Amino acid sequence: MENRLICTYALAKSLHEEGKDILDVFVPFILMTFYYTRKEILSEVEIKEYLKDFFNLEIPGHTIKTIITRAKRTGY
């Protein structure tokens, strides 16, 4: 679990250093929840739970909604 947490923070730091907005940094994590679950549709609650389980990230539901909206606008 500790290795996963270190990798999570390393990716977030790397994306942030590339000039990404702090919310944009979390898009890859949300996309990975779809990959890991093999589902095409997930609720905000499910995404929140999977982010906690897979990456030890606790992101509020309204923030997840904002991240998803931005990701859609940028073509994800």
Concatenated DSSP letters for 28-75?
A: HHHHHHHHHHT-S---HHHHHHHHHHHH-----HHHHHHHHHHHHHTT
Rounded to two decimals, the pTM is 0.73
Residues 46-59 pLDDT 10s = 999 999 998 888 99
Q: Are 37 and 43 in contact (CB under 8 A)?
A: no
* DSSP letter assigned to residue 11: H
- Residue boundaries of the structural domains of the chain: 2-73
Question: Which tokens in the block code for residue 66?
Answer: 């904002």
CA 76/CA 10 separation, integer angstroms: 22
Residues 60-72 pLDDT 10s = 999 999 999 988 8
